[in-house]
Structure 1
Amino acid sequence: MKEVIYTDKAPKPIGPYSQAVRVGNLLFVSGQIPVDPKTGEVVKGDIRDQTRQVLENIKAVLEAAGYTLNDVVMAFVFLADMNHFPLFNEVYAMYFPERPPARVTVQAARLPRDVLIEIAVIAARG
């Protein structure tokens, strides 16, 4: 059975998709971009600022479903520029200091709203 997860502590979906969907003990979190949920605007700043906002948005969706960052088993990272990888990784490591999830990181030709980063995750419990 599929359960849709929604929180106003993360940006509202800008299309026909859910912030997250839980199936059994798995939680599939849609790609998050660096939008401040309070203003609906893309956060200004460099890749570090945008990475922080994306991970805070993911954290909010996880918490709405009763999960934490420790439950994340897979992350899909899309960077607008692979030259940002070292600075992105610096911030990402702060959110996953121990037993980080498996991860895919690719450069994307263009991301929604011309942001620098988008991340989607899968979390599991039990």
Structure 2
Amino acid sequence: MATGVQADAAPRAVGHYPHARRVGGLLFLSGIGPRNPVDNTVPGNVVDAEGGLVSHDIRAQVLATFANVRAVLAASGARWEDLVDVTVYLTRMDSDFHTFNAIWAEHFPDAGSAPCRTTVGVDALPTPIAIELKCIAVVED
């Protein structure tokens, strides 16, 4: 039986879906980005007077995204170390990939125990964010 999870400490989903869904011993997280769970702002974004995006700080967005993933994992009974597969979506692969890769290595210093990972460059994400993660974790019963 599958059960959906809503994490109070994570930003609200931008659509009609749960933060995660547990099926047996697997936990599937919906796409999670860096939005602040309290006020929905995007850390590191600089906007002009009309609200248009001028620039972003990928480090701030990666760290916020990791914190949001951790919040959903915790609400689901899982931990960061339980991640087994992560798909990374970056809107600026050319300028942000190396920074993301360095931060990833800081959070998973042992490549042998890190989750599998695929990184994809995309034109845009549903909100003005530069990164989104899609994760799968194992959950102990």
**TM more than 0.5:** yes
Aligned equivalents of 1:94, 1:22: Cα separation in 2: 28
Q: What SS class does the counterpart of residue 100 from structure 2 fall into?
A: helix
Aligned equivalents of 1:66, 1:94: Cα separation in 2: 24
- Higher alpha-carbon deviation: 94-103 or 18-27: 94-103
* 2:60 corresponding residue in structure 1: 49
Correspondence 1:1-126 to 2 at 5 A: 1-44=1-44, 45-83=56-94, 84-98=96-110, 99-126=113-140
Larger Rg: 2
Aligned equivalents of 1:119, 1:22: Cα separation in 2: 17
Query: How big is the shift at 1:26?
Result: 0.2
* TM-score computed with the length of structure 1 as normaliser: 0.94
Amino acid at match of 2:16: P
Number of aligned pairs?
A: 126
Aligned equivalents of 1:42, 1:15: Cα separation in 2: 17
Which deviations, in whole Å up to 9, do the C-alpha atoms of 1:63-110 show, x marking residues without a partner? 111111111000010000112111011112222223110011010011
Quick check: 1:29–1:120 contact (8 Å CA) kept in 2?
yes
Structure 2 unaligned spans of 5+: 45-55
* TM-score computed with the length of structure 2 as normaliser: 0.85
Which deviations, in whole Å up to 9, do the C-alpha atoms of 1:3-44 show, x marking residues without a partner? 111111100111111100001110001111110101111112
Structure 1 unaligned spans of 5+: none
Quick check: 2:77–2:139 contact (8 Å CA) kept in 1?
no
Task: Provide the aligned C-alpha RMSD in A.
Answer: 1.1
Amino acid at match of 2:99: L
Aligned equivalents of 2:86, 2:34: Cα separation in 1: 16
Amino acid at match of 1:64: A
Aligned equivalents of 1:100, 1:120: Cα separation in 2: 15
